[in-house]
Amino acid sequence: MRTLNNTRRRFIAHFAGLGLGSTLLPGVLWGQMNQAGQNRITAEMLKSALALSGLEFDEDARAAMVREANRSLDRYEKLRALHIPDDISPPFHFTPVVPGMVVDRTLRPFRISTVRSVNRPANLEDAAHWSVRRLAELIRSRQVTALELTRMYLGRLHRHNAQLNCVVTFLDDLGLAQAAEADREIAAGKYRGPLHGIPWGAKDIIAVKGYATTWGSGAYKDRIIETDATVVEMLREAGAVLVAKLTTGEFAHGDRHHLGQTRNPWNPSHGSSGSSAGPAAATAAGCVAFGIGTETAGSLLSPSWVCGVTTLRPTFGRVSRHGIMVLSWTQDRVGPMCRYAEDCALVMQAMARPDGRDLSVTDIPFNWDARLDVRGLRVGFLADGFENATGHIKENGRKTLDHVRALGVKLTPVDVPRFPYYTAALSVEKAVFHSEFFLSSRHQQMARPDLAAGFRAPRLISAVDYLVSQRARTMMMMKLSDATVDVDVWLSIGTHSKAGVIEESDGPTQWHSEMANLAGYPALAVPNGLNEAGTPTSITIYGRPFADGKVLALGKACQDAAGFHRQHPKLPA
């Protein structure tokens, strides 16, 4: 569709919002108004336009539509003159819980694993790929200071960024100051827990007060948001040390941004996929102990599969999105990108609680017990996905299922029925949040101006169609709940999401992945081997809403049995 000028685009949006049929109707009306040199609709204009659009109403109905349409033009012009701050969300909130679904609301003790015989390596960089749990033991036992660990990771970030292009802003001064404060507190006996003194990096759609938050775009390369995102505040309270703002695809799309493309540490000639590209690459390369990314339609899981990172996409409503760029209020999630499943639990413990700002966040407790006996879990697997895979992906998937069976777990095949439909949630909601930007000419400053159409075209979706699609989404969620009611967690071959387009998915694994995402289910990416090209393969462990702890428990058991998470890419010294 060719580019429309601002007035015509606004006009079409007015009538799409009224739900007056196809995009042809507002287009015809616009043409008639333009030809007549008028800025209001007449009865004759509407009658002709309705005929061309294949719609028929009696004279009284048409008169009422003309009155309401002209009244709406005035209202919408006033509405568009209103500036709405980024932290204002619509007055409704999505929940992954459907009627009849039972959620565990019992708070239980938070139990982490016991780590024995952790000794400081002669060369501290030999610990760069250690799990957060083991690094925490080095700090707790005072074999390593937070300053030493922070300097080590900052050194690796500076050294490897030229190849990986994973950093937007180095936060050396901030990180070193936070590390020094952590050391003072630990020396005074005020140890805050397993994240105290641990260096981490934030995806650059997450606001950090006093530093640029670019959203991956040249249009915002110098923009500073004078607030901290909630997750930044919560991780600081836990004693974690922020060392970098890490790359994101422009406006959280893909791995390309105003600084170029973020690279995969396993094969730097390839990109690192999904918009949480920077946290995935930096974590896989041992340049941070963990990263924080976000997902709307695959941006946590996809780069984790590609880069061999262990990542939890939490249940929707676990973690506040306050201070983070929006793509979809009903889909966006924030999650930890780590090297070990238990590390994700340690980070979630710091972040998974209401903040009074993002009202989608629930007070359902996040429970973790490193000693949970996975034999007590009801575990399923998507048999078609494992069977239809090929090459090393299939072989590594088979080995993972064998590891799970060897744990004493009985595997139950899960069959998820296809429910083909398109949800307008992502399309409409991203257009709403970024409305002011894409009604201006600032998109010309973007590294990828081709993205603009995807933020503008949703204005042609009527409010009626948007809400109908959300009702269909509820139907899909109920079908998914029925299909998985007999299991707590289930395994799938890792596959890419189709970003809301289930009817175009190629097979059961892909349409299940999209359904689970739209339903707000938790999912854990677990690397399980290498493919023919020497880059990682993964499985994904899904769970029913708020079963995040069970998902992580099975992931930890798989990793403890297989040990692949201890392998890492070889980067130049």
The string of DSSP codes covering 286-304 is TSSSEEEEEESSSTTHHHH
Q: How far is CA 284 from CA 17, 18, 131, 319, 384, in A?
A: 45, 48, 11, 23, 30
Residue range 244-263: mean pLDDT, rounded: 96
Residue 177 banded pLDDT, cuts 50, 70, 90: very high
The answer to whether residue 255 scores a pLDDT higher than 60 is: yes
The answer to whether residue 211 scores a pLDDT higher than 90 is: yes
Last residue of a domain, one of 17, 50, 82: 82
Domain annotation covers residue 486: yes
The residues near 97 (Cβ < 8 Å, ≥ 6 apart) are 103, 545
- Residue 483: the pLDDT is 95
Nearest to 245 by CA among 264, 265, 266, 223: 223
Domain annotation covers residue 442: no
- Residue 32: the pLDDT is 59
The answer to whether residue 353 scores a pLDDT higher than 80 is: yes
Same domain, 31 and 128: no
- Residue 269: the pLDDT is 93
Range of the domain at 212: 124-419+471-566
Distance CA 209, CA 108 (A): 34
**SS3 (DSSP) at 151:** helix
Query: Which has more pLDDT, 51 or 122?
Result: 122
Same domain, 219 and 302: yes
- Contact between 236 and 147 (Cβ < 8 Å): no
- Residue 51: the pLDDT is 76
For 152, phi then psi, to 5°, come to -65, -50
Same domain, 314 and 399: yes
Same domain, 179 and 260: yes
Domain annotation covers residue 464: no
Same domain, 329 and 261: yes
Last residue of a domain, one of 82, 113, 148: 82
The alpha helices in 484-567, defined as continuous H runs, are 508-518, 548-562
Residue 35 banded pLDDT, cuts 50, 70, 90: low
Strands 333-338 and 411-413 turn out to be unpaired
The residues near 281 (Cβ < 8 Å, ≥ 6 apart) are 164, 166, 246, 247, 262, 263, 264, 265, 272, 287, 303, 307
Same domain, 16 and 138: no
- Residue 16: the pLDDT is 45
Which residues are the active-site residues?
Answer: 203, 275, 299
- Residue 34: the pLDDT is 55
As given in the structure block, the two tokens for residue 301 are 């899981």
- Residue 367: the pLDDT is 97
* Dihedral sign, Cα of residue 334, residue 96, residue 537, residue 127: positive
- Residue 224: the pLDDT is 96
- Residue 53: the pLDDT is 63
Same domain, 77 and 188: no
The answer to whether residue 173 scores a pLDDT higher than 60 is: yes
DSSP secondary structure letter of residue 64: H
* Dihedral sign, Cα of residue 458, residue 444, residue 213, residue 154: positive
Residue range 159-164: mean pLDDT, rounded: 97
Domain annotation covers residue 12: yes
Distance CA 91, CA 98 (A): 20
Question: CATH number, domain at 207?
Answer: 3.90.1300.10
- Residue 31: the pLDDT is 56
From first CA to last CA, the distance across the chain in angstroms is 50
- Residue 497: the pLDDT is 43
For 293, phi then psi, to 5°, come to -120, -175
Same domain, 72 and 179: no
Nearest to 231 by CA among 290, 190, 169: 290
Mean pLDDT, the chain, rounded, equals 89
Distance CA 336, CA 324 (A): 15
The answer to whether residue 470 scores a pLDDT higher than 70 is: yes
For 32, phi then psi, to 5°, come to -65, -45
Distance CA 543, CA 176 (A): 38
- Residue 507: the pLDDT is 66
Residue at 550: amino acid letter: K
**% the chain with pLDDT above 90:** 68
Lowest mean pLDDT among 21-35, 290-304, 315-329, 447-461: 21-35
Last residue of a domain, one of 82, 104, 137: 82
Same domain, 147 and 33: no
- Residue 26: the pLDDT is 57
What total number of domains does the chain contain?
A: 2
Question: Each residue of 327-345: b (16+ CB within 10 Å) or e?
Answer: bbbbbbbbbbbbbbbbbbb
Same domain, 185 and 306: yes
The answer to whether residue 121 scores a pLDDT higher than 60 is: yes
- Residue 4: the pLDDT is 38
- Residue 20: the pLDDT is 43
Distance CA 513, CA 33 (A): 46
Nearest to 536 by CA among 197, 270, 206: 270
For 502-546, the three-class secondary structure string (H helix, E strand, C coil) is HHHCCCHHHHHHHHHHHCCCCEEEEEEEECCCCCEEEEEEEECCC
Residue 84 banded pLDDT, cuts 50, 70, 90: confident
Same domain, 46 and 128: no
The alpha helices in 445-498, defined as continuous H runs, are 452-456, 463-483
